[in-house]
Amino acid sequence: MDFLTLFAIYVVVVLACIVLVCKYSGQQQSPFTCLWDSLAKVFGPITPKWLQRFSQRAMHKLFHQRSNMFIYIHILLEIAVYAEFTYEVFGYCREMDTTLASLSVPYVLLALKTLFFYLCIKRDPGTVTKKKVDGQLQIYPYDGRLFHPGVSCPTCQLLKPARSKHCRVCNRCVQRFDHHCVWVNNCIGFKNTRYFLLYLFSLSAMAGAIALLTGDMLFHAVLRSGLLHASYLDENGQQKAAGPLFVVQHLFLTFPRIVFMLGFLVFIFFLLAGYALFHTYLALINQTSNEWYKDRGYICQHCQPVTADHLCSMSPDHSKRHFYSKGFPQNIGEIFFPPQTIHKKDD
């Protein structure tokens, strides 16, 4: 298989991973969502009806109902990366006298990430129930802007506490709702946002650590091979110095799986690091991503269901944008030590 064919396959796979992660990361809007919808409109008229119905049912089952599919994909990707790292990169690094302490970092991070991943999946995000709703109503005040008192969930038939939202996938109202994450098959809310943040940072650190060790291995492989000072004969028989493109092509053909893994990890690292920093920013100002999206469009919570006719025409009141913020230290403290639900004693 020549270099161009291998590189084309590599680009297609990486782009497919980008679309998959961005479209189904749990966010409400992304450029890839618009692109996906545009492609559906273009190819819809020429696609057989039975294929459209089948794809719609499959997509609905995967992305609009609770499913462990993305948990399995997550685990399979980790197995593939760690198998390649352990099988090839680890050995090369040991030949270059990389310390065992440095090589053990990805495995320590894997253990930490697995713990937070499990907690994100298993912990209740803060489900609003008939038994708990009276106490949950007392935790946060209504801001009178995005959240209003007296609003009931038409599905759960319960009063909606401030900062809560009904998740269509889980079919429940969640206290301090952030978003539904398909990668953990759970909502991110009042009780598990702390684990989600730690999960994001440990996953980013894990990808970064493996990428650094792999990049260092490839760099030393180039130094040992002498490619930086090598030359080659072009198609005209002229001698030319091996430039960066030649070095990259050599690495791609010599270590195709390692280079593919490195490119994937670099992409994942920047994507997850940016996502983790975004959620850190939201934690610092005590805002959820659900509130951030609503705040940008300023959709009134009492206008249910939300349609074009129900959008509020008033301009946003920027003085109340960070209504729930209590200062950076207290905001972070509230994430890691959520306020206790007030339970009323039965008479």
Active site residues per annotation: 181
The residue among 124, 127, 173 whose CA lies nearest residue 152 is 173
The answer to whether residues 181 and 193 touch, using CB atoms and an 8 Å cutoff, is: no
- Cα(161)–Cα(171) distance, integer angstroms: 16
| Whole-angstrom distance, CA of residue 18 vs CA of residue 272 | 12
Query: For residues 88 and 95, what is the distance between their CA atoms, to the nearest angstrom?
Result: 11
**Token pair recorded at residue 65:** 């109902």
Phi, psi angle pair for 33, to nearest 5°: -65, -45
* Tokens standing for residue 16: 């497919």
Spatial separation of the C-alpha atoms in residues 164 and 318, rounded to whole Å = 21
For residue 277, what are its two tokens?
A: 């920093």
